[in-house]
Structure 1
Amino acid sequence: MRRLYERHHDALCAFIRMHCDHDTTASDVMHDTMLPVRRSAALFQQAQRGPVRGGRR
């Protein structure tokens, strides 16, 4: 539950930042919000495939 709250908190901060700071665009906010989701999805796919050949780390 705490993790969910933290994620919402990050999104809320990004949303507030977008409104206060006009240099920050909606796409920046979406990127910031989706970054942890993309990272965990990539890790999940990596775990499904097994170790990546080529050692791209």
Structure 2
Amino acid sequence: MVSRITAAYEQALHTLCVQDRDDPLTEMVASKIIKIAQTEVFAPAEIAALAIKELEMR
């Protein structure tokens, strides 16, 4: 499970072009990734896409 979360997190940050790990956005991304990873979604790419979509809806 940790590898899925890590892969999804890295992919989401890459997609959002976030390079600075001190950027407050990284915490929001991590929170969304963890929340989604606890559901029935298993593919890292899908987890990342859903997290980005949720962030865009804010």
The answer to whether TM tops 0.5 is no
TM-score (norm. length: structure 2): 0.36
Structure with more helix by fraction: 1
Higher RCO, 1 vs 2 (CA within 8 Å, ≥6 residues apart): 2
